[in-house]
Amino acid sequence: MEHITIRRATTQDLESLQRIGRQTFSETFSTGNTDENLAAYLAQSFSTEKLTEELHKVDSEFYFALEQERVIGYLKLNTQGAQTEKLGEESLEIERIYVLKAFHGQKVGQLLFEKAHQVATDKKLTYIWLGVWEGNARAIQFYTKNGFVEFGQHAFQVGSDEQLDILMKKQLVYMDIQVVLETETAWLSPLAIDDFDALYAVASDAKIWEQHPNKDRWKRAVFANFFEGAIQSRGAYKITHKTTGNTVGSTRFYDYNAVDNSILIGYTFYAVSQWGKGLNTTVKKAMLDYAFQFVSKVYFHIGSTNIRSQIAISRLGAEKLREEEITYFGEAPKMNFIYQISKETWQDQRETF
């Protein structure tokens, strides 16, 4: 899918939109519809006048899937009053999502759906819905796989033939990555700008960073950049020891992906005084317990030379997936190992920790 790109269509793309709309609809519905009814639908739904009007609607958006410069699929989204059913302001309708038959099976439709999901999450909407022809088993299977459930029906007119669409919807769940979490010995609270001095007092110990990709984070200027990235992430935490009240480290949720149903945990460090005392295990346990209320998998970026962290994450049941260069905030790319732990794996073994 790396060679496929998604971009929004504009009024300058009218002819391309008309062409892809007619071709994909014909490929999808030529079987089961008469030539007369198909021609009537194409003439009405993809006329220059109708598409021009739709492209100008404030609450409608078109997106193209492109292989280089060739349009191979498209997506139409509606919100607010542009929706074909009055289902409220908190919903987004996928009115059309079509891909050229020659590109079926290449996950182009999945990319278009993920774009729709991104639009809905950016707008903080409650759910996505659509109508799918009852005879389109392939499409029904696709939407079911992506978490849609049936909630109704409506009529769909193709020429003189009234057909039945199944209405399906997907509820959107948002994960708040700035909550207060608790372990047996520590509090995890959202990192604030005023926490810099207390956190740097921990981070200024060069021993913490000996195995990290950036071994200079003990220096104030380098750590200041790290801290700025943490604040901007809006998912970073200060870890406070319950007994002493001292700041003993930091960690972070980041790159929450509602479509992939995943999130990352990383940028973790602890005061040397806490090493070997079980703090990392209890912190990860609290974070994983919380994250798996919303996602099905958690990823970890761990520096290729950070043997200590690699061993620790493996003990929690995480599996190494690949090696990849990761660019951290304001720093040069560094080689990292990518680990993953699934919700099922965590549920099976969490009681052992």
Which of 63, 74, 98, 143 does the annotation list as catalytic?
143
Q: Are strands 4-8 and 60-67 parallel, antiparallel or unpaired?
A: antiparallel
Dihedral Cα 137, 143, 144, 148, nearest 10 deg: -130
- What is the 8-class DSSP label of residue 180? -
Q: Which residues contact 67 (CB under 8 A, 6 or more apart)?
A: 3, 4, 103
Backbone angles phi, psi at 100, to 5 degrees: -55, 140
* 143 is an active site residue: yes
Radius of gyration of the chain (CA): 25
Helices and strands (H, E) in the chain, number of each type: 10, 15
Residues 53, 40: Cα–Cα separation, whole Å: 19
**338 and 322 in contact (C-beta within 8 Å)?**
yes
Pairing outcome for strands 236-241 and 186-190: antiparallel
Structure-block tokens of residue 286: 């609290």
CA distance 204 to 74: 52
Reported for 285-289, long-range contacts at CB under 8 A and 24+ positions apart, including other chains, are 285/183, 285/350, 285/353, 286/181, 286/182, 286/183, 286/188, 287/181, 287/188, 287/251, 287/253, 288/316, 288/341, 288/346, 288/350, 289/350
Closest by Cα among 66, 72, 63 to 23: 72
Active site residues: 143
